[in-house]
Amino acid sequence: MNSYKEKFAFYFTGFFYLLFNLRYSPDVGIMARETLLQIGRTLPYVGGLTYLLAYFLQRISGGTWPSWEAIFRIFFTFGIIIGFFFSLYEYAATGQAVVR
- CA distances, 82 to each of 6, 26, 61, 70, 85 (Å): 23, 24, 27, 18, 5
Give domain status of residue 68, yes or no: yes
Q: Which residues of 44-69 are buried (b: 16+ CB within 10 A; e: fewer)?
A: eebeebbeebbeeeeeeeeeeebeee
pLDDT at 80 over 70: yes
Domain range for 44 is: 26-94
Asked, for residue 20, whether it belongs to a domain, the answer is: no
Number of domains in the chain: 1
Please check whether residue 39 lies inside any domain of the structure.
yes
99 confidence band (pLDDT: 50, 70, 90): low
pLDDT above 70 coverage of the chain, percent: 92
Please report whether residue 55 resides in a domain: yes
pLDDT of residue 17: 95
Could you tell me if residue 18 is inside a domain? no
Task: Report pLDDT digits (tens) over 22-71.
Answer: 988 889 999 999 899 999 999 999 999 999 999 999 999 988 999 999 99
| Residue 82 within a domain | yes
**pTM: predicted TM-score of the whole model, two decimal places:** 0.84
